[in-house]
């Protein structure tokens, strides 16, 4: 579904991604693990088109989208939940969800109502301002906002950052059940080993802007082995 070949990206003259290549099959859930500053966010921003690739290609379902604008990629099924969530603090939770519908051109709220069945914690919060929600509630809202347009490829940037363990588990469960039912393909950037192991079928390690090791599946549940790949501790 997603094929990245020889991708390079930089901020001004500072190169960040050096020759990233990876392939992700439809319906797969792939984790990307890496220390701070290794280029994880830069990779996701390049994949959604917020940052220009200097070299290399990105194919989505065999279409070369390397030069496509972000809104065109969104129409083709890509959705992105940015690091830090970026919900609109002065809009209500409901209006934040409506923003997720705008790009689809939908005129009815039915897609929001349907999706909320999977986000019971959000239902009583819809009239509250986004900025008044807890970090975990905001993360669920950002996830729901990304999903109302029924994407096929979901890119998540450190969804557990600064969030209570009880909601982290809820996010993992929600993702697992939605992935199956919506046939979502997921690319998850994370530093939380337990979460990445719970959500991903495969985990790639990114180091200094390159994809290094792939952690074998059998090691995903063994946190002590996982931490040896990266030196990251959960
Ligand atoms: N807007 C920017 N302008 C210049 N340099 C940037 C910019 N954003 C990030 N960088 C640099 O690019 C490198 C990769 O940053 P990136 O945000 O992709 O890392 P990351 O792996 O997501 O880190 P973290 O785990 O802290 O979120 C870092 O050296 C960072 O300082
Ligand atoms: Mg980041």
Distances from the Cα of 102 to the Cα of 14, 48, 95, 111, 143, angstroms: 35, 17, 10, 12, 16
Ligand 1: atom nearest CA of 43 is 18
Q: What is the token pair recorded at 153? A: 């490829």
Nearest by Cα to 190 from 225, 230, 224: 230
CA of 83 to the centre of ligand 2 (A): 6
**Which residues of the chain are under the pLDDT cut of 50?**
233-234
185 Cβ inside 6 Å of ligand 1: no
Q: Which domains does the chain have, with CATH numbers?
A: 27-51+77-229 (3.40.50.300)
- Tell me the per-residue pLDDT of 88-136, one tens digit each, with 9 for 90 and over: 999 999 999 999 988 777 788 899 999 999 999 999 999 999 999 999 9
* The pLDDT value given to residue 227: 73
User: What span, in angstroms and rounded, lies between the C-alpha atoms of 86 and 133?
Assistant: 13
pTM over 0.75: yes
- What integer pLDDT is reported at residue 234 of this predicted model? 44
Ligand 1 proximity of 73 Cβ (cutoff 6 Å)? no
The number of the ligand nearest the C-alpha atom of 38 reads: 1
For ligand 2, the distance from its centroid to the CA atom of residue 168, given in whole angstroms, is 18
Task: Tell me which of 41, 158, 204 to substitute to probe ligand 1's pocket, judged by most ligand atoms within 8 Å of the beta carbon.
Answer: 41
User: Rounded CA gap, 3 and 200, in Å?
Assistant: 18
């Amino acid at each position: 579904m997603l094929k990245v070949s020889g991708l390079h990206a930089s901020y001004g003259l500072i190169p960040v991604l050096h020759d990233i290549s990876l392939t992700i099959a439809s319906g797969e859930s792939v984790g990307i693990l890496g220390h701070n500053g290794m280029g994880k966010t830069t990779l996701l921003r390049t994949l959604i088109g917020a940052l220009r690739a200097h070299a290399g290609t990105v194919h989505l379902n065999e279409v070369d989208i390397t030069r496509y604008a972000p809104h065109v990629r969104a129409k083709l099924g890509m959705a992105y939940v940015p690091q830090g969530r970026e919900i609109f603090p002065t809009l209500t939770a409901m209006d934040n969800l409506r923003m997720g519908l705008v790009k689809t051109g939908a005129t009815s709220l039915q897609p929001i109502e349907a999706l909320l069945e999977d986000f019971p914690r959000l239902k009583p919060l819809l009239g509250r301002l986004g900025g008044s929600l807890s970090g975990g509630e905001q993360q669920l809202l950002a996830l729901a906002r990304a999903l109302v347009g029924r994407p096929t490829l979901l890119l998540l940037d450190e969804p557990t950052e600064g969030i209570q363990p009880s909601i982290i588990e809820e996010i993992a469960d929600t993702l697992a059940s939605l992935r199956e039912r919506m046939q979502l393909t997921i690319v998850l950037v994370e530093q939380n080993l337990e979460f990445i192991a719970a959500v991903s079928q495969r985990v790639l390690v990114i180091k200094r802007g390159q994809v290094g090791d792939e952690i074998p599946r059998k090691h995903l549940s063994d946190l002590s082995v996982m931490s040896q790949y990266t030196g990251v501790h959960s």
